[in-house]
């Protein structure tokens, strides 16, 4: 493509993301270091990928590849330019027809020393974390030396709730948790449950002073 356009578009998109949602990183258990990692995050809105990328330091961002759906992001030249050209996305077929190829492509990224961003829930949630799909398990079996880092995306479901076309700018924090420890002989269901728990436990900040009132989906009043 046009060589100068993509960096400009990338800076524009990341800058706009920060202006709208802040995209602050909070490293709570892992440090921003360049080792092969699978960042797995809760899926809250269309802005998730951009927000996580904007929160990563630039030297990690260039070596991190969000996994995105081929049917949507490969759908037009513009979408492809944004996903692949600007955000280094790895486009995968999610129809289930090419599972082996998808796994090969993801493993290749990790084996080259780079990182992936995955949304194991599959669909966008409403602020709660849905059960994980099994891809995360298979990928962790295939590349056991890759660190599994949970990333809780806070507040973003309030910015752009499912089914709402309008966007309300609120400050969103990406909470990067401690990597999952390997447990020998763990089966798929137990692993997925443990991974999901690690993500959910990041949703409640440790210090009471930083608690976030969040009643959009549940109607609970957590701050009072």
CB burial of 19-28 (b: ≥16 within 10 Å; e: otherwise) equals ebbbbebbee
Is residue 16 near another protein by the rule CB under 8 A?
Answer: no
Is residue 32 near another protein by the rule CB under 8 A?
Answer: no
Q: Per CB under 8 A, which region of 73-81, 143-151, 162-170, 181-189 contacts another protein?
A: 162-170
Is residue 15 near another protein by the rule CB under 8 A?
Answer: no
- Identify the residue among 10, 150, 155, 202 touching another protein (CB under 8 A): 155
Query: Two tokens at 3?
Result: 């060589």
Is residue 166 near another protein by the rule CB under 8 A?
Answer: yes
Residues 179-218 that bind another protein (CB under 8 A): 208-216
Q: Which lies closer to another protein via its Cβ, residue 76 or residue 215? A: 215
CB contact at 8 A, 73 and 51: no
Q: Hey, CA dihedral for 215, 220, 223, 224, is it positive or negative?
A: positive
Q: Which value, to the nearest 10 degrees, does the dihedral of the CA atoms of residues 75, 76, 78, 81 take? A: 60
- Identify the residue among 6, 9, 13, 24 touching another protein (CB under 8 A): 24
Helix ranges (H only) for the chain are 5-21, 48-55, 58-61, 70-73, 77-80, 99-111, 135-142, 156-159, 188-201
Q: Which lies closer to another protein via its Cβ, residue 5 or residue 223? A: 223
What residue ranges bind another protein (CB under 8 A)? 22, 24, 155, 158, 161, 164, 166-171, 208-216, 219, 221, 223
């Amino acid at each position: 493509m046009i060589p100068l356009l993509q960096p400009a578009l990338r800076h524009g998109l990341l800058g706009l993301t920060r202006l709208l949602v802040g995209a602050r990183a909070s490293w709570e258990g892992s440090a921003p270091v360049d080792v092969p990692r699978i960042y797995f995050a809760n899926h809250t809105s269309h802005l998730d990928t951009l927000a996580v990328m904007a929160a990563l330091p630039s030297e990690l961002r260039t070596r991190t590849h969000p996994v995105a759906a081929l049917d949507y992001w490969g759908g037009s030249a513009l979408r492809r330019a944004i996903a692949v050209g600007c955000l280094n996305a790895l486009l995968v077929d999610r129809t289930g027809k090419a599972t082996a190829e998808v796994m090969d492509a993801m493993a290749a990224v990790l084996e080259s020393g780079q990182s992936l961003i995955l949304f194991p829930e599959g669909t966008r949630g409403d602020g709660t974390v849905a059960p994980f799909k099994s891809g995360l398990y298979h990928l962790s079996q295939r590349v056991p030396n890759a660190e599994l880092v949970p990333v809780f995306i806070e507040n973003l479901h309030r910015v752009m709730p499912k089914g709402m076309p309008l966007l309300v700018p609120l400050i969103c924090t990406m909470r990067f948790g401690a990597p999952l420890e390997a447990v020998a002989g763990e089966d798929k269901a137990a692993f997925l449950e443990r991974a999901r728990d690690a993500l959910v436990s990041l949703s409640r900040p440790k210090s009471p002073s930083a608690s976030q009132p969040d009643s959009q989906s549940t109607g609970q009043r957590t701050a009072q």
